[in-house]
Amino acid sequence: MSGRSLGALTLATTLLLAAPPGRAADPEPSKAAPKGESWTLDSSNWQDGKDVLPESVVKRLQAGDYWFNVVSVDATRFHHNYSQAFWDATDKNAGKYDLDAKTCGLKDKATGKIPDFVFGLPFPTIDKSDAQAGCKIAWNFTMAGAMGGGGGATFTLNGVDTSGQFRRIKAFIHSRGFQGRHFGPLAEDNPEHLAGEGLSGAIEPQDVEGVSQLTKRYWDWESQDAIWAYVPSTRRARRVNAASRSDPVAGLDIFADDLNCYAGKVEYYQWKLIGEQEILAPLLQPYPFPMRSVSPTRQLIDTPYMPAGYEVPNRRGVPWWIQDHLVFVKRPVWVVEGQSSDPYYNFGKVIMYFDKEMYRIYWKLVHNRGGEYFYTAMCGYHFVKNDETFSAVFPNLVVGVNDKTNRAALGGRFQSSFLEQHWDPSYFSLRTITHMTD
């Protein structure tokens, strides 16, 4: 596994996970989804899916490769998957922010500069006729994902083809976010003026153990992410280009930019709102999981494993299709195009489906720079919340499918994750990644 590709996963998580400072609420029993209407969408009724799934997915639905356990949700309760604190802050953000015309960077209207700290959706209302609507949607996505603050998980990457799994990598990812988190800015200094930072490393198999990466994302409009990759055999950490997020991770059909379906800085892409529709959103469960405190600064979240077809007998569909613990909820989405102007970035036009309320990307379709479509990523999530003071949304699944090679990769599917409010100040450093295998 290349260090840079694994490590590039890190930063996105940085801006996702959160730590409730010193006020971990007592866990409540998990509330099961209310018994509502649920039905199966498969090849026998594929027509019901043609308006709520991307075309490339409908094709596989029709062929029997995929099937969907569709559940209905209570819209109000789903809205409250995010804390009331988050929604109150979102309301207060109305009219407060603008965009830098040149870079699409977030701007505080009062100062004309990048804001010191943002919490909640910066743009509570999106005007479809606004030429900058796409960029505003991307900022809402970024800040919704950042509400958690910081944490980590150990996860697997599985390369799967039509005959089954051909490669498995176990890795971990840790992150800390400075922007977008509940309870305001961190008490720790932020001398590098970061939006977030992250660290990732491979654990298995042995030949990639210790390959690791450090990523720092600057809170400004112009800077590229600073990424360092470390390979134990060379005992050197070297700086890699931020565009490596579009390189395949460890030769698998998955990319660092697949985390949350987009893992770059908002400023990296040109964004364009194309339309709106409904889509089937992949979720571990429709409503939040509880968290439990294991230390004054750390909370754990237990989640069920999502077995794929290659792992179970009598599977339905292709070997990479998730068989259990995955539901699909019909959600209203913005359809947005994104395109990087970086000549080293491998993707051409990317089409993404953003939840109009929760601002998660559920699906993305990727063209290469020559205009060939080649890849669809399905991005699944789960929510975490104990009370109305704190919530977080975790990316827990990526199913990346290369339709050109008819292969796929699964990322995530962790059974345990954590939120951390107080990392050792020296943890996110070159010293950590270069001494991981000592």
Partner 1 sequence: MSRAVMTARGTLVLVGVLVSLAGYLWVAEVGRRTPLRASAPVEPAPLLAVPPAAVARVEVEEGTVHLVAIRRGGGWSDAEGRPWPRDAVADLLESLGTIRPVMTVDPDPTDPADYGFGPDAVRIRLLAPDGRPLLALDVGERNPAWTGLYARRTGSREVMLVGALLHWELEKLQAKAPEP
Q: Which chain residues interact with partner 1 by CB under 8 A?
A: 55-56, 59, 131, 272, 274-275, 348-349, 351, 367-374, 403-404, 406
Cβ proximity to partner 1, 59 vs 168, nearer residue = 59
Beta carbon nearer to partner 1, 64 or 348: 348
CB of 129 to partner 1, least distance (A): 8
* Residue 54 or 120 having the CB closest to partner 1: 54
Closer CB to partner 1, 332 or 348, in the complex: 348
Asked if the bond preceding 205 is cis, omega within 30° of 0, the reply is yes
Q: Which of 324, 372 has the CB closer to partner 1?
A: 372
CB of 58 to partner 1, least distance (A): 11
Nearer to partner 1, 224 or 368 (CB): 368
Cα 287 from chain centroid? 18
Give min distance, CB of 132 to partner 1, in A: 12
Task: State the nearest-atom distance from the C-beta of 326 to partner 1, in Å.
Answer: 24
CB of 165 to partner 1, least distance (A): 22
Burial label, 286 (beta-carbon count in 10 A; 0-12, 13-18, 19+):
buried
Residue 274 CB, shortest distance to partner 1, in Å, is 6
Of 234, 225, 265, 235, residue with least CA distance to 7 = 225
* Burial class of residue 172, CB neighbours in 10 A (0-12, 13-18, 19+): middle
Question: Residue 26, exposed/middle/buried by CB under 10 A (0-12, 13-18, 19+)?
Answer: exposed
Q: Nearest distance from residue 192's CB to partner 1, in Å?
A: 37
Minimum distance, C-beta of residue 436 to partner 1, in the bound complex (Å): 39
On the CB side of 272, CA atoms within 13 Å amount to: 9
Closest CB to partner 1 among residues 106, 273: 273
Within 10 A of 180 (CB to CB), how many other CB atoms are there?
26
Distances (CA, A) of 3 to 15, 177, 208, 400, 437: 20, 22, 9, 20, 14
Q: How far is the CB of 245 from partner 1 (least distance, A)?
A: 21
Q: Toward partner 1, which CB reaches closer, 55 or 204?
A: 55
Q: Which residues of 223-235 are buried (b: 16+ CB within 10 A; e: fewer)?
A: eebbbbbbbbeee
- The phi-psi region of residue 147 (left if phi > 0; otherwise alpha if psi is between -120 and 50; otherwise beta) is alpha
Helix (H, G, I), strand (E, B) or coil at 109: coil
Q: Which is nearer to partner 1, 23 or 59 (CB)?
A: 59
**Which tokens go with 113?**
């500069």
Q: Which helix (H) or strand (E) holds 368?
A: strand 361-368
Of 363, 378, 285, 382, the residue nearest 324 (C-alpha): 285
